[in-house]
Amino acid sequence: MMYAIGKRGQAPRIWACELPTGGEPWFETSEDDDLQDRVIEADAIDDSLVISRDEPWALEVSLPLLRARRWEKAKAIRDARINGGCQTPLGVVDTDPQSRLNIAGAVSGALLAQQAGADFAEVWTLRDNSTVTIDAAAMIALGQSVLAHVSACHAAGSAIRTALERAGNVEELDAVDLTSAYPPEILI
């Protein structure tokens, strides 16, 4: 079966063919990929999908399925922003999971050193591979900056999720900006 997928009143921009043998579907998209998140996998073809009665061969996707697809895209953006680095008082640091674990360990060491009245000095490598020697207070400040960055990304993701849940139709769903609520992206 062949499906042409697009916005009502516009030329289709995604074409899909479900193989008669039950194999994997084939998809082709036009250069305009704003419908890319609406490509349907074979196992997602269920009661949430209906054949449009208004346009022959047009596949309409239910609002809950579209909302779930947009949320998956939003989560990927959120995670990329969390892991994309952040500005600290010392410069830009990496914030991928391993870097955050390293920072948390160093902050713990700095706190323990402060509590014991011991000296703390750590040579820390920044995102651009330059190094800085930092004391306990600077290490704690670096950790607080990373925490604030991660928290801001989660708050942005939560606001986007709320906006997606409040969308009452496809146009409102498409109007939800998935990127603007985040802290500035670090490009290096």
Residue-number span of the structural domain to which 47 is assigned: 2-61
Quick one: pLDDT at residue 6? Answer: 57
Q: Distance between alpha carbon 186 and the CA centroid of its chain, in Å? A: 15
Total structural domains within the chain? 2
Residues 92 and 126 in one domain: yes
Burial of 162 (0-12, 13-18, 19+ CB in 10 A): exposed
pTM > 0.75: no
**Binning pLDDT at 50, 70 and 90, where does residue 112 land?**
very high
Sign (positive/negative) of CA torsion 144, 150, 156, 161?
negative
In this structure, is residue 184 part of a structural domain? no
- 167 and 98: one domain? yes
Residue 33 tokens read as 């990929």
Residue-wise pLDDT tens digits, 160-177? 999 999 999 888 999 999
115 is a domain residue? yes
Q: Rounded to an integer, what distance in angstroms lies between the CA atom of residue 56 and that of residue 150?
A: 47
Inter-residue contact 130 to 124 (CB < 8 Å) = no
